[in-house]
A = this chain, B = another copy of it.
């Protein structure tokens, strides 16, 4: 295992310190317990958005704390749920008095710990659970699917709505509507090596790929022989489009997310192939996102997300955002 670190136990702490110093104009990083809040927190009168989950998926979620997106993020140890005391501390620091929406990807441990913290906080709150993984097809996993890269889109859209004054119930409803409007599917070419484990958590052969992989390197649906990008992406777009029941003429956001170890030149190639198959289905791509937004340490691989768009989604997607890893003012 070769990683830039001093020791595995302190890796997350040292990395979060660096994140805090590098982004001191946007966020404040707390220790003991760890959480990240936007610099101007609490934003009074605004619904407070809090997310979190295991680390190792950077920039998710810490990179999305700031104006127009999250108020706070709770990073657990690598691939480990944040603890209730982390979440509770974030709640107490970030709450703006208009209720808290917890955005918690669909993993049992994350949900349990966030629910425990929410109960302890005794504060008005609601849950929104991203579960954007494709769940139909030949080898369907559990329903609903796992939370994947689409979580970034949900956090962006709901973040803009909260900034625009939506109340807690409306933020939650919008997030659930966005979650229902998208599907994601992942593919891995290599495993990743969690520092505390010190060895690959799965083995993918030199001529193999793992289709339908989760963002922690969990086994996917199918171990297949390595194939051309055209053949691979066709399967992924077919699965996504079928699961979403996409119709010709519909308007979409097309999002290719790198899992960490795949260079941008390959991600843009995947995007090109995906765009071709979307156009073959007469889908109108009106927004795009390509890059490493939800990773799995240094895993080589990517995911494709398609989100059906309407005017409300487009308006909130385009809304200004000012975070470490998503930033624009269109």
Chain B residues in 8 Å Cβ range of A12: 265
- Contact (Cβ within 8 A) B261 A6: no
- Contact (Cβ within 8 A) A261 B298: yes
Q: Which residue on chain B has the smallest CB distance to residue A4? A: B266
Docked pose: A307 CA to B190 CA in angstroms: 36
Docked pose: A262 CA to B298 CA in angstroms: 6
How many copies of this chain does the complex contain? 2
Chain B residues in 8 Å Cβ range of A11: 265, 269
- Contact (Cβ within 8 A) A265 B55: yes
Q: Is the interface of A mostly helix, strand, loop or mixed?
A: mixed
- Taken residue by residue from 4 to 30, chain A's Cβ proximity to chain B (1 for < 8 Å, 0 otherwise) reads as 111100011011111101110000000
Chain B residues in 8 Å Cβ range of A229: 4-6, 14
Q: Which residue on chain B has the smallest CB distance to residue A230? A: B6
Docked pose: A19 CA to B267 CA in angstroms: 9
Docked pose: A207 CA to B206 CA in angstroms: 22
List, sorted by A's number, 10 A–B pairs whose CB atoms are closer than 8 Å: A2-B207, A2-B300, A5-B228, A11-B265, A18-B271, A19-B271, A21-B271, A55-B265, A58-B263, A292-B292
